[in-house]
């Protein structure tokens, strides 16, 4: 947090604010050049409201009420999020000159007087000026970078891109257990850079294509939107990478995968002892996700299974998630859940020696081996025949972009 009342700081704000597209930037220059102005910039602290934050920076109560009522026209103040940057310019008597708040990577809120000297405030949501780049990156899982997050970081990119990459292959690779030393990945994607603030991290758009060499297999994904359909990822032949079941019910999370011990931990101890399911070693609190879309049959507690969620899916399947430390909000009998949605957190409730997830799967009322069943389910719809020419064009361009690495 910086609190500045110097002209140098005002000049800094002026240059930063001037980069934002606005027809009235000349007018604002006049406002900022007055010497009785206070500039505060920083990030929103946790556990605060817009009201509390603005009062905390010396704004008069009436002025704060004016800002909030103006902001409400375009933005719900309850959506104020901690750690998001803001910039507040006030006169020394506590009146608002300008308030800016970054809503997300693409847009910001600005509240300012409608005209010089006016008491009427105008609120707008404006696009953040940013440059789109076509980028590509590559990495290897090895002793120096044993997790996907570390491998991506050493390629210079962030966790959001890692998660997006893992989601593309979530039906094919269990990133919690199946990563191997020597695995390699390459991807081509959109990256956004801020034009006004070089100190803000880059953000990511779509991944256009990705390649993953996992344990000797070569997987490729090309983003394509069939006419009249939703965008999806397909292999080179146009087969969908989306699966009826996810590869595993554990969400790919930094705290799980960043440990080198994962590979040697053997989290999957299959049946032998009439064990009707799969145990996944995972820390307490790791998110557990629905392997397929469906309906909650029950969310219950008993001394053996602990907190247990049971889901019903299409084609006669039911999935069971045991020993949870908590249920996710809204997970109760009859609720609808989507594939990949968090339904609870890993725990050790019931008969469990330590934190782990016991995952079971039934088909038409009988227990089946989840790993084999997941593997054998057919994929989603392929690219329609009529769209294959368009798909091949997209594919060839995307794969060319990948091969620059």
Q: Interface residues with Zn ion (CB under 5 A)? A: 279, 358
**Cβ pair 347, 307 in contact under 8 A:** yes
Judged by CB, which is closer to Zn ion: 169, or 321? 321
Judged by CB, which is closer to Zn ion: 174, or 279? 279
In angstroms, what is the minimal distance from the CB of 270 to Zn ion? Answer: 10
Ranked by CB distance to Zn ion, the top (closest) residue is 358
In whole angstroms, give the CA distance from residue 81 to residue 104: 9
- Torsion sign across C-alpha atoms 274, 278, 280, 285: negative
**Cβ pair 166, 216 in contact under 8 A:** no
- In sequence order, the β-bridge partners of residue 185 are 139, 212
In whole angstroms, give the CA distance from residue 228 to residue 242: 18
- Which residue in 322, 331, 323 sits closest to 298, CA to CA? 331
Judged by CB, which is closer to Zn ion: 153, or 352? 352
In angstroms, what is the minimal distance from the CB of 275 to Zn ion? Answer: 5
Return the number of other C-beta atoms located less than 10 Å from residue 182's C-beta: 12
In angstroms, what is the minimal distance from the CB of 140 to Zn ion? Answer: 34
- In sequence order, the β-bridge partners of residue 287 are 345
In angstroms, what is the minimal distance from the CB of 353 to Zn ion? Answer: 10
In whole angstroms, give the CA distance from residue 211 to residue 231: 18
- Torsion sign across C-alpha atoms 366, 370, 373, 374: positive
Interaxial angle between packed helices 25-32 and 7-18, expressed in degrees from 0 to 180 and rounded to the nearest 10? 170
Judged by CB, which is closer to Zn ion: 233, or 359? 359
Query: What are 386's two structure tokens?
Result: 């009529």
In angstroms, what is the minimal distance from the CB of 296 to Zn ion? Answer: 21
In angstroms, what is the minimal distance from the CB of 377 to Zn ion? Answer: 22
In angstroms, what is the minimal distance from the CB of 375 to Zn ion? Answer: 19
In angstroms, what is the minimal distance from the CB of 309 to Zn ion? Answer: 15
Return the number of other C-beta atoms located less than 10 Å from residue 235's C-beta: 18
**Cβ pair 178, 280 in contact under 8 A:** no
Judged by CB, which is closer to Zn ion: 243, or 358? 358
First to last CA, the chain: 40
In angstroms, what is the minimal distance from the CB of 171 to Zn ion? Answer: 23
Judged by CB, which is closer to Zn ion: 57, or 358? 358
Judged by CB, which is closer to Zn ion: 358, or 395? 358
Judged by CB, which is closer to Zn ion: 49, or 304? 304
Answer left, alpha or beta for residue 368, where phi above 0 means left and psi between -120 and 50 means alpha.
Answer: beta
Judged by CB, which is closer to Zn ion: 226, or 267? 267
Locus of tokens 């997987």: 219
In whole angstroms, give the CA distance from residue 307 to residue 344: 9
In angstroms, what is the minimal distance from the CB of 243 to Zn ion? Answer: 23
Judged by CB, which is closer to Zn ion: 189, or 359? 359
For residue 65, CA distances in Å to 41, 60, 72, 111, 380 come to 20, 9, 11, 12, 52
- In sequence order, the β-bridge partners of residue 85 are 43
Return the number of other C-beta atoms located less than 10 Å from residue 328's C-beta: 19
């Amino acid at each position: 947090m910086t609190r500045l009342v110097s002209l140098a700081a005002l000049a800094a704000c002026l240059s930063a604010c001037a980069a934002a597209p606005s027809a009235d930037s000349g007018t604002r220059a006049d406002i900022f050049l007055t010497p009785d102005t206070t500039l505060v910039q920083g990030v929103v602290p946790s556990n605060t409201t817009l009201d509390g934050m603005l009062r905390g920076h010396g704004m008069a109560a009436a002025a704060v009420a004016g800002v909030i009522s103006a902001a409400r026209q375009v933005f719900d103040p309850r959506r104020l999020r901690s750690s998001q940057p803001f910039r507040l310019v006030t006169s020394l008597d506590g009146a608002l000159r300008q308030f800016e708040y970054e809503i997300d990577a693409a847009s910001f809120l600005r509240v300012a007087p409608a005209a010089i000297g006016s008491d009427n405030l105008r609120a707008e949501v404006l696009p953040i000026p940013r440059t789109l780049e076509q980028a590509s990156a590559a990495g290897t899982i090895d002793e120096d970078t044993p997790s996907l997050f570390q491998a991506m970081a050493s390629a210079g990119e962030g966790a959001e891109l890692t998660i997006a990459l893992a989601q593309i292959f979530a039906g094919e690779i269990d990133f919690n257990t199946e990563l191997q030393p020597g695995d390699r990945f390459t991807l081509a994607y959109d990256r956004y850079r801020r034009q006004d603030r070089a100190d803000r991290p880059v953000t990511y758009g779509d991944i256009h294509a990705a390649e993953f060499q996992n344990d000797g297999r070569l997987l490729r994904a090309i983003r394509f939107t069939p006419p009249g359909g939703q965008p999806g990822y397909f292999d080179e032949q146009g087969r969908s990478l989306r699966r009826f079941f996810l590869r595993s019910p554990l969400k790919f999370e930094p705290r799980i995968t960043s440990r080198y011990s994962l590979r040697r931990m053997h989290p999957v101890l299959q049946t032998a002892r009439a064990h009707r399911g799969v145990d996944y070693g995972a820390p307490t609190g790791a998110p557990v996700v629905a392997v397929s879309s469906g309906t909650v049959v029950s969310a219950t507690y008993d001394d053996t299974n602990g907190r247990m969620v049971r889901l019903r899916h299409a084609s006669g399947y039911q999935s069971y998630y045991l020993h949870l430390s908590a249920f996710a909000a809204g997970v109760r009998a009859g609720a609808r859940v989507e594939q990949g949605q968090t339904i609870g957190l890993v725990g050790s409730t019931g008969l469990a020696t330590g934190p782990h997830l016991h995952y079971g799967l039934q088909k038409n009322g009988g227990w089946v081996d989840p790993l084999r069943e997941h593997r054998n389910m057919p994929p989603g719809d392929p690219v329609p025949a009529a769209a294959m020419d368009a798909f091949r064009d997209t594919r060839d361009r995307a794969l060319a972009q990948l091969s620059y690495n």
